[in-house]
C-alpha cells in the first residue's frame, strides 16, 4: 500500500513538471524586454524659460498692467484683448498728448507716486531726455528674453540691437513705417504729376500747397529735419518757402481743406487724419517716391519705468508686444507696418509698405534721436517767418 502511494506521488509530480514545461516559453526573454520601461527624464529648462515661469507666477498675483502713452483707442482695445488672452493680464491705458502725459508722470514721481508700468509714445525723446536724467527708465536689454523677440532675422534692419533708440537701451522701436511725404486731392493732381520732392518746386504749385508747420513739434518738424539734413539740403526748404505754402498746425483742418479742394497738395500730412477722410470717401491720395524716403517709428516705441507697481506683468507685456502675435495685433489696429518682417501686411495699402530694395534712413537711429533740434527749429522759423501768421 505504501509503495502504491509513493508511486502515485512521483507520477503526480512528474505530470505537474511536464505541464509547467509545456506552458513556459521556449526561449528566455531578453534582459531588455524584462526590464521595466524607464520613465521619461525631465527636460531641463533653459535660463530664459526659468525666468519666464517666475515672471508668470508673479504676474498672476499682480493681475494688471498700467500703460501711459499716446496710442489710439483702437490700439488700446486690441492690445488689451491680446495681453489678456495671452497672460490673463488686465490692461489700463491712460492716453493723451505726449507733453501732457510726460508732465503727469513727472508730477507723480516727484510726489512719490509710481502709477504707470509702461510708457508707449510716438518717439524716444521722453525716455532719453526726461526719464534718463531722472533715472526713471529700465534697461530693456536684460528684460527682452524670449528668443523670438531677440532673433535678428525677424527685424527689417537685420539687427535686434538697431531697434534700440539709444545706447542705454531705454527705448525700443517696434514700428518702421514708411513716411508719407505728400497727400494730394486726386481730382486736382494727376498721379504722374509729382514723382519727386523736386516736382514741388514747379511754379504751377506756387500758393497751392499746405505745409504741416515745421516750427513746432510733430510730423512737419520731423520731415523738415530729415529732408533738409539727409535727403536734400536746407536750401530746398528755402525754395519751398518761395512757393508760398500755407502753414497749419491743425492737421485735421489741413486735411479738411485738402479734401474740399481748397488746396491740392498737403506736405507732411497726418496719415491717420487722411486715412479717416479717405475711408469716408474723400478724394485724397498718398504720394510716395520710389527711390527716396525714410521710415518712422510712427507712435511705436516702448519703455519700462522703474519702481513700477506691476513689474512682472510689464516684462511679460514687453516680450509679448515684440512677438509676431503682439506685432500683428498692433499693426492691424494702428494701420502701420511693424519693424518685424514676419508680420502680415495684407491690411495695409501698398503705398505704406517698405520697399525691400530701398535702404531707408530711420528716425529711430541714435544719429537722429540725439540731434540738437533747437538749431533746426530756429532755422525753420527763420525760413518760414514771412509765412507764419
| Domain match, 232 and 281 both | yes
| Domain match, 117 and 171 both | yes
Query: Does 367 map to a domain?
Result: no
| Domain match, 246 and 378 both | yes
| Domain housing 202 | 180-292+374-387
Query: Does 240 map to a domain?
Result: yes
Range from 45-49, 82-86, 196-200 carrying the lowest mean pLDDT = 45-49
Q: 33 pLDDT exceeds 90?
A: no
248: closest CA among 387, 70, 96, 381? 387
Residues 128-145 have pLDDT tens digits of 999 999 999 999 999 999
Query: Does 1 map to a domain?
Result: no
Query: Does 78 map to a domain?
Result: yes
Place of cell 498737403: 266
- CATH number of the domain that residue 219 is part of: 3.40.190.10
Residue 292 grid coordinates: 527716396
| Domain match, 69 and 91 both | yes
Give the mean model confidence (pLDDT) for residues 33-56: 69
Contacts of 20 (CB under 8 A, 6+ apart): none
| Domain match, 244 and 301 both | no
| Domain match, 193 and 285 both | yes
| Domain match, 288 and 304 both | no
| Domain match, 235 and 247 both | yes
Query: Does 34 map to a domain?
Result: no
Q: What is the 3-state secondary structure (H, E, C) of the chain?
A: CHHHHHHHHHHHHHHHHHHHHHHCCCCCCCHHHHCCCCCCCCCCCCHHHHHHHHHHHHHHHHCEEEEEECCCHHHHHHHHHHHHHHHCCEEEEEECCHHHHHHHHHHHHHCCCCCCCEEEECCCHHHHHHHCCCCCECCCCCCCCCHHHHCHHHECCCCCHHHECCCCCCCEECECEECCCEEEECCCCCCCCCCCHHHHHCHHHCCCEEEECCCCCCHHHHHHHHHHHHHCCHHHHHHHHCCCCEEECCHHHHHHHHHCCCCCEEECCCHHHHHHHHHCCCCEEEECCCCCCEEECCCCEEEEECCCCCHHHHHHHHHHHCCHHHHHHHHHHHCCCECECCCCCCCCCHHHCCCCCCCCEECCCHHHHCCCHHHHHHHHHHHHHHHCC
Query: Does 8 map to a domain?
Result: no
| Domain match, 304 and 288 both | no
Query: Does 44 map to a domain?
Result: no
| Domain match, 303 and 219 both | no
- Judged on CB neighbours under 10 Å (0-12, 13-18, 19+), 118 is buried
| Domain match, 251 and 306 both | no
Range from 29-43, 171-185, 276-290, 333-347 carrying the lowest mean pLDDT = 29-43
Query: Does 210 map to a domain?
Result: yes
Residues 214-229 have pLDDT tens digits of 998 888 999 999 999 9
Tell me the C-alpha distance between 157 and 166, whole Å: 16
| Domain match, 132 and 80 both | yes
Number of domains in the chain: 2
Q: Regarding predicted confidence, which is higher, 320 or 9?
A: 320
Tell me the C-alpha distance between 184 and 300, whole Å: 26
Residues 177-214 have pLDDT tens digits of 999 999 999 999 987 899 999 999 999 999 999 999 99
Amino acid at each position: 500500500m505504501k509503495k502504491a502511494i509513493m508511486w502515485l506521488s512521483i507520477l503526480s509530480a512528474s505530470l505537474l513538471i511536464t505541464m509547467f514545461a509545456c506552458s513556459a516559453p521556449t526561449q528566455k526573454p531578453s534582459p531588455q524586454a524584462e526590464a521595466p520601461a524607464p520613465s521619461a527624464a525631465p527636460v531641463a529648462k533653459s535660463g530664459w524659460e526659468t525666468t519666464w515661469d517666475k515672471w508668470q507666477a508673479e504676474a498672476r498675483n499682480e493681475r494688471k498692467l498700467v500703460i501711459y502713452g499716446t496710442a489710439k483707442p483702437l490700439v488700446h482695445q486690441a492690445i488689451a484683448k491680446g495681453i489678456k488672452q495671452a497672460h490673463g493680464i488686465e490692461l489700463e491705458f491712460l492716453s493723451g498728448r505726449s507733453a501732457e502725459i510726460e508732465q503727469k508722470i513727472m508730477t507723480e514721481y516727484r510726489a512719490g507716486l509710481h502709477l504707470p508700468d509702461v510708457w508707449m509714445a510716438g518717439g524716444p525723446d521722453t525716455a532719453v531726455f526726461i526719464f534718463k536724467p531722472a533715472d526713471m527708465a529700465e534697461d530693456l536689454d536684460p528684460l527682452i528674453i524670449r528668443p523670438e523677440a531677440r532673433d535678428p532675422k525677424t527685424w527689417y534692419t537685420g539687427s535686434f540691437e538697431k531697434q534700440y533708440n539709444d545706447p542705454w537701451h531705454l527705448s525700443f522701436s517696434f514700428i518702421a513705417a514708411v513716411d508719407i511725404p505728400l497727400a494730394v486731392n486726386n481730382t486736382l493732381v494727376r498721379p504722374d504729376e509729382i514723382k519727386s520732392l523736386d516736382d514741388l518746386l514747379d511754379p504751377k504749385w506756387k500758393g497751392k500747397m499746405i505745409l504741416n508747420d515745421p516750427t513746432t513739434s510733430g510730423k512737419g518738424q520731423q520731415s523738415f529735419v530729415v529732408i533738409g539734413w539727409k535727403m536734400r539740403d536746407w536750401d530746398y526748404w528755402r525754395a519751398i518757402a518761395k512757393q508760398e505754402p500755407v502753414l497749419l498746425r491743425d492737421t485735421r483742418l489741413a486735411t479738411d481743406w485738402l479734401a474740399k479742394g481748397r488746396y491740392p497738395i498737403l506736405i507732411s500730412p497726418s496719415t491717420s487724419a487722411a486715412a479717416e477722410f479717405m475711408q469716408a470717401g474723400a478724394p485724397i491720395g498718398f504720394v510716395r517716391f520710389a527711390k527716396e524716403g525714410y521710415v518712422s517709428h510712427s507712435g511705436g516705441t516702448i519703455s519700462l519705468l522703474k519702481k513700477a507697481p506691476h513689474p512682472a506683468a510689464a516684462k511679460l507685456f514687453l516680450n509679448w508686444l515684440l512677438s509676431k502675435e503682439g506685432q500683428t495685433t498692433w499693426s492691424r489696429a494702428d494701420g502701420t507696418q511693424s519693424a518685424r518682417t514676419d508680420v502680415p501686411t495684407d491690411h495695409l495699402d501698398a503705398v505704406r509698405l517698405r520697399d525691400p530694395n530701398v535702404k531707408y534712413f530711420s528716425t529711430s537711429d541714435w544719429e537722429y534721436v540725439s540731434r540738437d533740434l533747437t538749431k533746426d527749429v530756429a532755422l525753420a522759423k527763420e525760413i518760414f517767418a514771412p509765412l507764419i501768421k
